[in-house]
């Protein structure tokens, strides 16, 4: 989740004069579900109002539509929604096309999509005041468009070339 009360990231300021980022006192944000195609550098992201099993199921359905042929292997963390009963029948029905592989607990460094989220926060979110959640959404969408226009940069930054 990209929150509206952002941290100060790496930045320069005079000694004793730490940079302050205002906040408007509401805890809103942008909830994203995303995946990164290791071979092409393409990302697929969906913005959701609620991050739950139904949202994850919609994301899996979208991923299959985006890649209409071939086998998809999706590497995931162990979030509860990734194991929800709601998605089990969908996974069984699509077992020939979709396989989920779960990372060990507490290993975000192995998840390529975590690299995209870190890049997003460092590039357009940290050290910036957004006076409305819509402005956060606009910045996030701009970043995702930038990333999808430059798949080789994504691969160079986050993946190992074969």
Give the tens place of pLDDT for each residue, 134-156: 888 898 999 999 999 998 888 88
Q: Which domains does the chain have, with CATH numbers?
A: 26-113+120-158 (3.30.420.10)
As given in the structure block, the two tokens for residue 2 are 């990209």
pLDDT value, residue 123: 85
Name which of 76, 69, 70, 72 is nearest 107 in CA terms.
Answer: 76
Q: Looking at the predicted structure, is the pLDDT value of residue 44 above 90?
A: yes
CB of 2 within 8 A of CB of 125?
yes
As given in the structure block, the two tokens for residue 108 are 């975000």
- As a whole number, mean pLDDT of residues 47-60 equals 94
Q: Looking at the predicted structure, is the pLDDT value of residue 77 above 90?
A: yes
CB of 34 within 8 A of CB of 113?
yes
pLDDT value, residue 82: 95
Q: How confident is the prediction for the chain on average, in pLDDT?
A: 85
- The helix, strand and coil proportions of the chain, stated in percent and rounded to the nearest 5, come to 45, 15, 40
| Per-residue pLDDT tens digits for 28-39 | 677 899 999 988
Lowest mean pLDDT among 10-19, 97-106, 136-145, 152-161: 10-19
- Helices marked H in 16-150: 53-66, 85-93, 112-120, 133-149
Q: Looking at the predicted structure, is the pLDDT value of residue 5 above 60?
A: no
């Amino acid at each position: 989740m990209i929150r509206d009360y952002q941290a100060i990231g790496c930045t320069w300021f005079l000694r004793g004069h730490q940079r302050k980022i205002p906040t408007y006192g509401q805890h809103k944000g942008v909830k994203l579900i995303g995946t990164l195609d290791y071979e092409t550098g393409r990302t697929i992201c969906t913005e959701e109002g609620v991050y739950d099993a139904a949202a994850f199921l919609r994301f899996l359905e979208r991923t299959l539509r985006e890649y209409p042929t071939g086998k998809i292997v999706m590497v995931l963390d162990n979030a509860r929604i990734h194991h929800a009963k709601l998605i089990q029948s969908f996974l069984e029905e699509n077992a020939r096309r979709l396989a989920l592989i779960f990372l060990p607990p507490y290993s975000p460094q192995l998840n390529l999509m975590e690299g995209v989220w870190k890049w997003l926060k460092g590039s357009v979110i940290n050290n910036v005041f957004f006076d409305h959640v819509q402005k956060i959404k606009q910045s996030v969408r701009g970043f995702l468009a930038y990333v999808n226009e430059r798949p080789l940069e994504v691969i160079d930054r986050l993946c190992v070339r074969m």
